[in-house]
Amino acid sequence: MWVSTVKLSFSQRHFIKHVQCIRFRTISAVSNLNLISSDSDVDRPNVNSECELQGNGFSLELSTNEVLETLNGLRKKPNEALSFFQKLKTIGFSHDLYTYAAIVRILCHCGWDRRLDSMMLELVRKENELDFEVTDLFEALSDEGSNALVRFCDALVKAYVSVGMFEEAIDVLLQIKRRGFALSILSFNYFMNRLIECGKVDMALAFYQQLKSLGLTSNEYTYVLVIKALCRKGCLEETVEVFREADEAGVTINAFAYSTYIEGLCNNGRLDLGYQMLQALQAANIPLGVFAYTVVIRGFCNENRLEEAEHLLRHMEKHEVLPDVHVYSALIHGNCKFGSILKALDLMDEMESKGIKTNCVIVSYILKYLCRRDSASKAVDQFMKLKDTRVYLDKVCYNIAMEALCKLGKVEAAVELFNEMKNKQMAIDVVNYTTVIYGYCLQGEYLDAFNLFLEMKDAGHEPDMVTYNILAGEFARRGFEQKVYYLLDDMKTQGLKPDAVVHKMIIEGFCTGGKVKEAEAFLDSLQEKCLENYSAMFDGYCKTKHLTRAFELFMNLSKQGILTVNGCKQHNIFYMEGDKEKAVMLLETMISKLIGGFCQAGETEKARLVFNVLTDIGFTPDLYTYTMMINSYCKKSRLHEARDLFNDMKQRGIKPDVVTYTILFNAHSKIDLERSSSPPNALQSEEKIVDASVFLSEMEEMDIRPDLVCYTTLLARYCKTKNLEGAVEVFNEITARALEPDVVTYTVLLSCYCAMGDFYSGKIIFDEMRLIRTVSRLCAPLAVSVLKLKAMDPRSRVQTRLVTTPTQLWISSSGFQQH
């Protein structure tokens, strides 16, 4: 009898009560239990046992021994035995080591491996709730044959591995090895694969080295897993040895092994070698599945080699390898990332024409691309179009659409989508809630945002740092100090530590809302201040035009030695680990903003003072900062100091750009014109005379091509010197370089023609200018006034050389006739 096989040599804790009182309202409790199987292939009898049993009102005490005896009687009826076992659990019977051992025996002997796997997984997951250890089943089953014990161990190893309990799984392997048995190679492979997927590659390879000592022989899938593990480590040379080892063992390597190796090459920066491997295998008529092509196509797309990726798609089709959704997904993603949305949409249409359904991942690629390209309205249209089809859209797609609607100011429409997600019982997460909260804040609907925040918490979703940052910034902008501090306290309650980002949002929020004093008070209240905190306060001063306060803060930090990375450490000013470069960037940004603010306000001396501090603390000003200072000096006609900075910049190895040269050329052109139009000794300036053309020559030597602004400046110089020939050449060069003249460029040339009395050519330029979509409200009336004034001048009958305008409007086709 099976009950006798249950050993009683366990510790005292295993001697649980063998009598459990179960009340059954039936004539014969055990025999009349509903033994309906959970198998889908077994017909369920139409029995309402609860109704039948209530009328009898009979109570019965059922012991563990009686359960064991019943299971023993059903050993040849595994379906009924399992159903009986499960039914007892549903009515409150607590199975112990002995009853579990009995049902495991039945499942092992009848070969119900999947049911056994499921039961072991259930036991492992609730092991802490049991009054015995799962491994104690070894002793209970020790008298069974090797087949039953191996099946049990297979199931137990799979269960431990499934939940990531690898150490426990290894203990099972050691126990079965001590008993002289071997795990099945299928379970070994499952164990190894789970180790690899969980990132425990070294453990998987070490496990493989113990294969022979465990009494196992590798099969083709084992070698695939070893190749996969070595590729994950980047050990591509060792992978070749695995192929040789498999060949010596007489194991035929399958296509999946080659595909895995190709994937390893592509993922380890050897894409071209992976492609060559694919071509070589194909030439050798080794059949490869679509996966091998997919990994190479994905590699091409990741490296922006889209033409090669599509060529491989056409090649695989030619060789009758049908592309699947993963191939098209890689191509669509690549085109969205590097190429054209039109091409991505064409590929999606092509995919669907072949009967391959679009999935939500592909849709998300397209929607993200449109949002990234500031085409939020197109993203919404595309989402709505797909929503009307049968394409499943997940919460990621919904979130992209909601975010796009919020950016468009259509928060109500975003809320409708949010409610639609609820109605569809989609698993709404904190990201979805935060998106709508952000939308409310963009609209200034802070109460709705806060109410949704509370709703999210009531629904069991804990807000993350992004949620708190958005709300804290909005409340600070509104001047709601109490709510700001409430959020900070709530963050701590949730186990989140307010960081520099949320502090930055609060400080900037207060400043944006005009609450500069509140921002200062908040900064002072921080026990640990980081450079980002000071940077936020500094930005707040600059945005609210409090340049004096920004300057004072800057000078105080400079005097304290804080405006260096080393100074941050010495003065207890913290920045996050690994963010040294970020700290340097923050310092440079602060200084650049302050210099820019003073330059814009015309306070060049203060700007230069800050500039000098920048160099004194060991930083090298960038091109943008130098250019701001040079421009500030040029505006005040202090060209000598501008040139000194220009030369200093070049000595530091900073290459001037077209903007820097344009500023210097324009400033020196004005001086040249003033001198040329004044009598000798009329200008008593001590400025050294420097010809403006020097800067143009230097640009040409450095191969810096003029942009439209530079050309317009040169055009203005020619016009002021009444050099119409030079002006026309410059204008024609603009059009020859495919630069589109703007209204300012046209107006300068128009003024030149009118000044020369050529009203006829001026009319052509004016007509051309009217074709520009964004005609300035100031420039257009100015041009009309110039034309009207010159029309009354009898000298306007003069015709000079015409320019070649972008649309080639010649006199003959202008529709204007000279009288």
Q: Is 118's pLDDT higher than 90? A: no
CA distances to 154, 200, 230, 611 from 203, rounded to whole Å, are 19, 5, 12, 57
Contacts of 818 by beta carbon, 8 Å cutoff, 6+ apart: 760, 797, 799
For Cα atoms 407, 413, 415, give the angle at the middle one, nearest 5 degrees: 95
Give yes or no for residue 657 having a pLDDT over 60.
yes
Q: Which of 117-126, 276-285, 375-384 has the lowest mean pLDDT?
A: 117-126
Q: How would residue 582 be classed by pLDDT, with cut points 50, 70 and 90? A: low
pLDDT at position 679 is 60
pLDDT single digits (tens) 757-811: 777 777 777 777 776 644 444 455 445 544 454 454 444 444 444 444 443 332 2
CB atoms within 10 A of CB 319: 9
Percentage of the chain lying above the pLDDT 70 cut: 80
611, pLDDT greater than 70: yes
Q: Rounded to the nearest 5°, which phi and psi values hold at 497?
A: -95, 120
Higher pLDDT, 678 or 703: 703
What would the 3-class secondary structure string for 684-742 be?
A: CCCCCCCCCHHHHHHHHHCCCCCCHHHHHHHHHHHHHCCCHHHHHHHHHHHHHCCCCCC
Would you call 756 helix, strand, or coil by DSSP?
coil
What is the tens place of the pLDDT at every residue in 389-398? 888 999 999 9
Which SS3 state, helix, strand or coil, does residue 682 take? Answer: coil
Greatest mean pLDDT among 81-85, 238-242, 465-469:
465-469
For residues 292 and 262, the answer to whether their CB atoms sit within 8 Å is: yes
DSSP state of 556: H
101-118: average pLDDT: 82
Mean of all residue pLDDT scores within the chain: 79
The count of other CB atoms within 10 Å of the CB of residue 516 is 19
User: Per-residue pLDDT for 48 more than 60?
Assistant: no
Range in 20-29, 352-361, 727-736 the model is least confident about: 20-29
Other C-beta atoms closer than 10 Å to the C-beta of 376 total 22
Q: Does pLDDT of 139 surpass 50?
A: yes
Long-range contacts of the stretch 242-246 (C-beta < 8 A, 24+): 246/218, 246/220
pLDDT tier for residue 533 given thresholds of 50, 70 and 90: confident
Q: Is 412:380 a contact under the CB 8 Å cutoff?
A: no
Distances (CA, A) of 571 to 507, 529, 562, 585: 21, 10, 7, 19
Give the residue-averaged pLDDT of 20-36. 40
Q: What does the CA dihedral 753, 759, 763, 769 come to, rounded to 10 degrees?
A: 30
Say whether pLDDT at 12 is over 70. Answer: no
- What local confidence, expressed as pLDDT, does residue 146 receive? 67
Residues 541 and 516: their CA atoms lie apart, in Å, by 8
Q: Is the Cβ–Cβ distance between 494 and 463 less than 8 Å?
A: yes
Q: Tell me how far apart the alpha carbons of residues 130 and 362 are, in angstroms, rounded to a whole number.
A: 46
Q: Burial, 654: exposed, middle or buried (Cβ in 10 Å; 0-12, 13-18, 19+)?
A: middle
**Phi and psi of 179, rounded to 5°?**
-85, 0
Which pLDDT score is estimated for 645?
A: 92
Residue 63 tokens read as: 């012991």
What local confidence, expressed as pLDDT, does residue 802 receive? 45
Q: What are the C-alpha distances in Å from 175 to residues 171, 179, 213, 504?
A: 6, 6, 14, 58
pLDDT in tens, 466-489: 999 999 999 999 999 999 999 999
d(CA 208, CA 164): 18
Instruction: Please answer whether residues 794 and 756 qualify as being in contact, where contact means their C-beta atoms are separated by less than 8 angstroms.
Output: no
Backbone angles phi, psi at 21, to 5 degrees: -85, 110
Measured in degrees and rounded to the nearest 5, phi and psi for residue 235 equal -90, 75
Could you give the 3-state DSSP secondary structure of residue 210? coil
Nearest partner of 179 among 153, 158, 210, judged by Cα = 153
Q: How far apart are CA 344 and CA 503, in angstroms?
A: 41
- Which long-range CB contacts under 8 A does 616-620 form with residues at least 24 apart? 617/558, 617/563, 617/564, 618/564, 619/584, 619/587, 619/588, 619/591, 620/652, 620/654
At 315 the pLDDT is 93
262 pLDDT more than 80? yes
Contact 383, 414 (CB under 8 A): no
**Where would I find the beta strands (DSSP E) of 583-684?**
none
Which one has a higher pLDDT value, 526 or 675? 526
Q: Is the dihedral of CA 675, 676, 680, 682 positive or negative?
A: negative
Spatial separation of the C-alpha atoms in residues 105 and 77, rounded to whole Å: 12
Cβ pair 172, 160 in contact under 8 A: yes
Give the model's pLDDT for residue 389.
Answer: 85
Residue with tokens 């609820």: 422
Q: Token pair of 201, please?
A: 């590659």
Q: What is the pLDDT of residues 722-762, one digit of tens each?
A: 888 888 888 888 888 878 888 888 888 888 878 777 777 77
Coil vs helix vs strand at 146: helix
Q: Quote the CA–CA distance of 60 and 692 in Å, as a whole number.
A: 111
**Position 389: which residue type?**
T
Average pLDDT over residues 55-77: 67
Residue 324 contacts by C-beta under 8 Å, 6 or more apart in sequence? Answer: 290, 294, 356
DSSP for 226-277, written as a single string:
HHHHHHHHT-HHHHHHHHHHHHHTTPPP-HHHHHHHHHHHHHTT-HHHHHHH
DSSP string, 368-429: HHHHHTT-HHHHHHHHHHHHTTT----HHHHHHHHHHHHHTT-HHHHHHHHHHHHHTT----
* Residues near 54 by beta carbon (within 8 Å), at least 6 away in sequence: 25
CA torsion, points 774, 776, 782, 783, in degrees to nearest 10? Answer: -20
Asked if 165 contacts 200 with a C-beta cutoff of 8 angstroms, the reply is no
| Residue pointed to by tokens 């603390």 | 617
